[in-house]
Structure 1
């Protein structure tokens, strides 16, 4: 029996809130309805303020710029996308490198892949990421900064930033809270932005890891502009207009395919 319109729209809202951004085609497939039906549902939900209509899909309503969900919440979101992004990131790493990993659940996912390698020097301000390497027997060296802990389990503050001033990293993987078409990469935490900028300053190459749900999210503090980053790795859920906007300003955007369940 077909799902009633109200029930179907409630499912759409739930899916969009969970995934942050979804395409019309993905919603239609999941709900087993036509593209036209989903477009009409999105129109209704947009008018009601439940979701935000974008070209080719819908995204969650904008959150307050100071809102920051905790690590446990974020680690359950967009897991297939983060796995695919982490796989692509790991392919850039070679033994003997000094690699920076900022705090975040996508960089934490990458850390689990890098922990299988040897002869890496890992620099991070994330207790969670450091724990991944400490719990895995290897020949890697892990340098964990000090500092004050944030909701995303980042260590921030003067102690953390000062510890980076004498370091030189081959490659930095940077996790971000939001990707804005005008200002670039942002976070809701002022001190975390300062720490991320210190990591960037210490790195020869900067790669942002951001799944499609980060598009259109604006945190209160800027981390870096598109021009300050060498590459961004995202997934194929990124809307076409986002791909176009990012490629106009960023040296390299890599889109990875996410296996269908």
Structure 2
């Protein structure tokens, strides 16, 4: 396969899924790690993709917020492992908060499926999270859905949401983010979401960030808080060692192995 054909296949995969891991591209294309990284570098030079730790994301989506269902398809094994580790931070009888996001949605699903965590109160601005918790039909699971303006990722944000959160206190917040950067901190493309997320952090005794490795090195338009302002980051083992070491100086870090990872299939790409 010529370099131009490889790059076309890589770009097609990234645009289809929103992002791609170097390891999956290596396996699918049957080339070396260095070759894939060189191809990604060329695509990044042309402004078609944005390099992140361990792979690349679609440059067209880097400054925008993809919809919930688009993001739900990305790095699902990693997100499942992160969610499983996150519920270990929950104690029955307390109150937790879930921000918007696909990883926090998986946390909500596990809460709904785990009777041992009840009784529990869950405060959330995530419509999908609230729905999966409501469908559990558990009387000892109290769900508080705050109001606000709906984002593309189905989170409720803005002044109404922020004002509601000023009156609430929870034991722990599980916070999903668009990007993690050692200097920029935790970021999102949505200005109103950043404001609401800061209100969630202020309402929580502890803040636990749940974010897969593709979020590392990504910087969105609006800063939520710095890494030193949160208590724990749960991510997956695909985060490069140097980034993990640097981050661990500012915040406690938990690295989990992905569950049942399925390589990206490039066989149909022409």
Shorter-chain TM-score tier: 0.7 to 0.9
Kindly state the Cα deviation for residue 21 of structure 1 after the two structures are TM-superposed.
5.7
Kindly state the Cα deviation for residue 83 of structure 1 after the two structures are TM-superposed.
0.8
What are the equivalent positions in structure 2 for 1:165-176 lying under 5 Å apart?
A: 165-176=166-177
- The structure, 1 or 2, with the larger RCO (C-alpha pairs under 8 Å, 6+ apart) is 2
The residue that corresponds to 1:128 in the other structure is 128
Cα separation, 1, equivalents of 2:51 and 2:196: 34
The residue that corresponds to 2:84 in the other structure is 87
What are the equivalent positions in structure 2 for 1:48-67 lying under 5 Å apart?
A: 48-52=46-50, 58-60=55-57, 62=59, 66-67=63-64
Number of residue-to-residue matches in the alignment: 256
Superposed CA offset, 1:141-179 (max 9, x none)? 000111111111111122211212222211100011111
Cα separation, 2, equivalents of 1:232 and 1:54: 18
TM-score by length of 2: 0.85
Cα separation, 1, equivalents of 2:182 and 2:128: 30
User: Does the 8 A contact of 2:50 with 2:62 survive in 1?
Assistant: no
Q: Name stretches of at least 5 consecutive residues in structure 1 with no aligned partner.
A: none
TM-score by length of 1: 0.88
User: Does the 8 A contact of 2:18 with 2:58 survive in 1?
Assistant: no
The residue that corresponds to 1:215 in the other structure is 216
The residue that corresponds to 1:20 in the other structure is 19
Kindly state the Cα deviation for residue 199 of structure 1 after the two structures are TM-superposed.
0.9
Kindly state the Cα deviation for residue 72 of structure 1 after the two structures are TM-superposed.
1.9
Q: Name stretches of at least 5 consecutive residues in structure 2 with no aligned partner.
A: 263-270
The residue that corresponds to 1:34 in the other structure is 32
What are the equivalent positions in structure 2 for 1:228-247 lying under 5 Å apart?
A: 228-247=229-248
Kindly state the Cα deviation for residue 212 of structure 1 after the two structures are TM-superposed.
1.1
User: Does the 8 A contact of 1:16 with 1:58 survive in 2?
Assistant: no
Cα separation, 1, equivalents of 2:231 and 2:44: 35
The residue that corresponds to 2:97 in the other structure is 100
Change (3 A) 1:66 1:19: closer
Kindly state the Cα deviation for residue 70 of structure 1 after the two structures are TM-superposed.
1.4
Change (3 A) 1:54 1:72: closer
What is the root-mean-square deviation of aligned Cα atoms in Å?
2.3
Superposed CA offset, 1:30-73 (max 9, x none)? 32223444344345444444445678x54236557751111121
Superposed CA offset, 1:109-133 (max 9, x none)? 1100011232110000111111111
Cα separation, 1, equivalents of 2:220 and 2:32: 35
The residue that corresponds to 2:109 in the other structure is 112
User: Does the 8 A contact of 1:22 with 1:237 survive in 2?
Assistant: no
